[in-house]
Amino acid sequence: MDATKTRPLQFQRFDRLNRTLHILMIVSFMSLALTGMTLKFSYTGWAGVLSRMLGGFESAGFIHRGAATVMFGIFVTHLWDLNRKRRRDYEGSFWKMLTGPNTMLFTRRDLRELVGSLKWFVGTGPRPRYGRWTYWEKFDYFAVFWGIFVIGSTGLMLWFPVFFTRFLPGWFINVATIIHSDEALLATGFIFTVHFFNTHLRPEKFPMDLVVFTGRMPLAEFKRDKPAEFDELVASGKLEQNLIWPYQQVVIRTYRIIAWTALAVGTLMILWIIYAMVFAYR
Ligand code: HEM
């Protein structure tokens, strides 16, 4: 008998496509951030070391463009997946998808949960009964949407300046460099601190939450973390359809290594950025 089937079933939170897209996002974002910061902080000793490891500044630029292409691919695939879900789960209606109970858009309930969370943090209220997506998960999601729009569009201007200056004034390229560079710094700072804290370092998940890699979470954890979603699935009789066998230990261990590596690289980058900005800024 398969050893994994002797353990209790788990709740499936993410499907295979979304897990794959998230791993590709980690790889492309880290590559973009590492190669980009090597250019931005080229005056620090670390940038020299990193650029040598990456094959020189020119090859860092080449990796940057390659990773950017992967990121655009992730974005388009995600939009395609949303459209597929609209047809499959929402009778073809965007409106139903965007106003349904599992919407990614901010609603009044998110505001209530934000206020409830603040009260809970200071011990004056109970933990809100979060549903499928919490307000901080929605915020992280739209931060990426916004980031791809702003960083991606300015990145394309830097990549194809001759094309863009056919219809934009030349100074736009200078402005695009500043926006790209500063928004990239903001995105890197946000992902490697706030996003890491929200997902892995908050006390309920510390030190690591593997759900985005395995797609699965133990039922007891699901019930505690997202009680409203759990209750809705039980009430509608749909919980069973969302249960799945856990992965084998070897798979979980592999994901753990990938996740810790990403966490370590991100944290080292934050330290490098602080050092570059505070002690070596030019
Ligand atoms: C997603 C689409 C993106 C495209 C098309 C793009 C493209 C570019 C291009 C063409 C350059 C000019 C440097 C060179 O010649 O090699 C550049 C610079 C840079 N990129 Fe990106 N990039 C993208 C995303 C990102 C992301 C996600 C980050 C970081 C999180 C980032 C960080 C940087 C930084 C820090 C620089 C150096 C800017 C400076 O000189 O101050 N880029 N990018």
Question: Could you give the C-alpha distances from 165 to 171, 173, 178, in angstroms and in order?
Answer: 9, 8, 17
Provide the 8-state DSSP code for 168: S
Domains contained in the chain, number? 1
The answer to whether residue 221 is domain-embedded is yes
Q: What mean pLDDT, rounded, does the chain reach?
A: 95
Tens digit of each residue's pLDDT (9 = 90 or more) over 137-194: 999 999 999 999 999 999 999 999 999 999 999 999 999 999 999 999 999 999 999 9
The answer to whether residue 262 is domain-embedded is yes
> Hey, whose CA ends up nearest to atom 34 of ligand 1?
36
pLDDT band with cut points at 50, 70 and 90 for residue 6? confident
Tens digit of each residue's pLDDT (9 = 90 or more) over 187-227: 999 999 999 999 998 888 988 999 999 999 999 999 999 99
The answer to whether residue 142 is domain-embedded is yes
Q: Looking at residue 281, what is its pLDDT?
A: 77
216 phi/psi in degrees, rounded to 5: -120, 150
Between the CA of 184 and the centroid of ligand 1 the distance, in Å, is 7
Whether the pLDDT of residue 1 is over 90: the answer is: no
> Once rounded to an integer, what is the mean pLDDT over residues 39-67?
93
Q: Looking at residue 4, what is its pLDDT?
A: 62
> Hey, whose CA ends up nearest to atom 5 of ligand 1?
155
CATH number of the CATH domain containing 251: 1.20.950
Between the CA of 32 and the centroid of ligand 1 the distance, in Å, is 7
> Hey, whose CA ends up nearest to atom 6 of ligand 1?
155
For residues 160 and 190, what is the distance between their CA atoms, to the nearest angstrom?
A: 28
> Once rounded to an integer, what is the mean pLDDT over residues 99-113?
95
What residue numbers bound the domain in which 133 lies?
3-21+92-278
Q: Are 71 and 28 contacting, i.e. CB atoms less than 8 angstroms apart? A: yes
> Once rounded to an integer, what is the mean pLDDT over residues 269-280?
93
The answer to whether residue 164 is domain-embedded is yes
The answer to whether residue 144 is domain-embedded is yes
Spell out which residues line ligand 1, taking CB within 6 angstroms.
Answer: 29, 32-33, 36-37, 39-40, 61, 64, 68, 71, 151-152, 155-156, 158-159, 180-181, 184, 187-188
The answer to whether residue 64 is domain-embedded is no
The answer to whether residue 51 is domain-embedded is no
